[in-house]
Chains A and B, each alone.
Chain A
Amino acid sequence: MKTHSVTRSKRRRGLSPFRILCGALLALFVLVILGLVAADVSYLYAKGVSWRHAASLLSQERVLFALRMSVATSLTTLILVMLTAVPVGYALSRYRFPGRALANTVVDVPIVLPPVVIGISLLAFFSFGVGEPIRRALATANLSLVSGLGIVMCQYLMAVSYCIRSVKTAFQGVDPALEQVACVMGCSEWQTFWRVSLPLARNGLIAGGVMSWARAIGVFGPIMVFVGTGPHVLVMPTTLWLELSIGNIETAIVIALIMLTLAGVALTLVHWLSPDGTAV
């Protein structure tokens, strides 16, 4: 009886074998991730790269150009992603229509596609059929796809599905009864959306936007395939790869640390908006 009571008591304190196993795996995973981050820093330390040297590596013109290009394109992408994700996410969360299941599946396709496939698909799309006249029209307007425009297309396709999912979840969390009350109280559909649905889903929307931006700024494969690595289309991931390929490992790692810092800021923001992480 006593042993049984002790065992139950231990389980209440969270010492069951199952909990210990889960906790150990969690700790191991956290250690692996932190170890990877620490490896970048310790590599620079081992190679004798001081803070000043790291700053000089960062201030190289091509690195600064890549940083500016990454920020500009990813912010443009973020705006386009939000303009798409908010109405699409709202429609998927609220409306029942024929083909809804299919629409839900198609919206998620970019999430499961290998990134390089998105690059190849963009190349194929603009090579013939509907896409070819669009490319010609853009060229007539002096807009090349091998530019920030192409980068934004790649980032958009890689990020938009994540944002739609997040926005959809956020709107699903808004009680439809509140929207009905707003309608009865005098709101049009637009007013209900702006005054009730949007503010109540705000945290989820911001979290989705932040995660999409973090995703966009790290896009590599599609940009390599669709836009290339010309000096005027370099972004941080492609610059990192180029630096690595010519043996400038220190510069590559400094860029990696910048990207890690941005990702860390984005994640912190997301968790701050949603303490239990459910906003994403």
Chain B
Amino acid sequence: MNGLELRGIVVHVGKFVVDDINLTVPAGEYFILMGHTGAGKTLLMKAICGVQPLSGGQVLIDDRDVTDLDPRVRRIGYVPQDSGLFPHLDVRENIGFALDLLGLDTRAAALRVEAMAEEIGIAPLLKRHVRGLSGGERQKVALARALVREPRLLLLDEPVSALDEGTRDDICTLLARVHREHHLTALHICHNRAEAERLGDRVGLMSNGRLVSIETGNPAP
């Protein structure tokens, strides 16, 4: 089964075009997307999420065509650049944000949030306000928030780019563990070759809106 399949994706934003992207990511694969700034990586990720309209092509998740589906029903876990935490909510509310929408009762939602926080290693942060968190803590909260909804596909947009080396290493180890334990299909945008080779089963290179090459990476054991 394919976790993610892109068929001839075309996205127009002004004069820039993400052009004819064809990509198949088998279920459970960790795919890294690299490329210089402005290559169209984030645009492609937003198109997969459904928040960026497509000019053409199809998006399939777990072999199901989701091209015309609302972003909210695609069951994607999304960690945007700069973590995208809601500044008016504390850590617990951020992680539990999606659970309220699923209609879980308060107790069940709280248990799930606590279990996820424990798994990611941020249980002591649950009562903290997100404004006071460090970069690494923010990324962990964003990851917990993305995973708590049990997504079929995990999309990570430069989750460690703005972090110092030690924290980056810590988050990469966490990502590798989470990917392995949750059997997730993951698409991860990054700029760092070492990070890509460490995490990725395969590494794709984008340039000027096109996917120009795909190489095999060296995933962490």
Contacts and interface: CB of A to CB of B under 8 A. Distances in A.
Interface of A: 177-178, 180-188, 191, 195-196, 199-200
Contacts of A180: 46, 49, 51, 71, 80
B74 A185 contact: no
Contacts of A199: 88
B88 A200 contact: yes
A184 B74 contact: yes
**Smallest CB-CB A-B distances: 8 pairs:** A186-B101, A180-B51, A185-B98, A181-B84, A183-B71, A184-B78, A186-B72, A199-B88
A133 B101 CA distance: 47
Given A185-B78, A185-B145, A186-B101, A178 B84 contact: yes
A94 to B, nearest CB: 13
Nearest to A198: B88
Given A186-B98, A187-B101, A178 B86 contact: yes
B51 A185 contact: no
A183 B75 CA distance: 11
Contacts of B98: 185-186
Interface string B146-161: 0001000000000000
Contacts of B76: 184
Given A186-B98, A191-B101, A196-B86, A181 B78 contact: yes
A200 B51 contact: no
B28 interface: no
Contacts of A191: 101
Contacts of B49: 180, 183-184
Contacts of B78: 181, 184-185
A185 B80 contact: no
B221 interface: no
B80 A186 contact: no
Nearest to A200: B88
Contact of A184 (B50, B81, B87, B88): B50
Nearest to B48: A184
B51 to A, nearest CB: 4
Interface in B76-127: 76, 78, 80-82, 84, 86-88, 97-98, 101-102
Contact of B102 (A183, A186, A188, A195): A186
A170 to B, nearest CB: 13
B88 A185 contact: no
A200 B71 CA distance: 22
Nearest to B100: A195
A185 B149 CA distance: 8
A48 B97 CA distance: 63
A255 B49 CA distance: 59
Contact of B101 (A178, A185, A200): A185
A201 to B, nearest CB: 10
A83 to B, nearest CB: 23
B161 to A, nearest CB: 15
Choose among B46, B73, B88 the residue with the greatest number of A CB atoms under 10 Å from its CB.
B88
Contacts of A187: 72, 101
A51 to B, nearest CB: 44
A200 B88 CA distance: 7
Contacts of B102: 186
Contacts of A182: 86, 97
B72 A200 contact: no
A195 B86 CA distance: 10
Contacts of B51: 180, 183-184
27 contacts: A177-B80, A178-B84, A180-B49, A180-B51, A180-B71, A180-B80, A181-B84, A182-B86, A183-B70, A183-B72, A184-B49, A184-B50, A184-B51, A184-B71, A185-B78, A185-B97, A185-B98, A185-B145, A185-B149, A186-B73, A186-B102, A187-B72, A187-B101, A188-B72, A191-B101, A196-B86, A199-B88
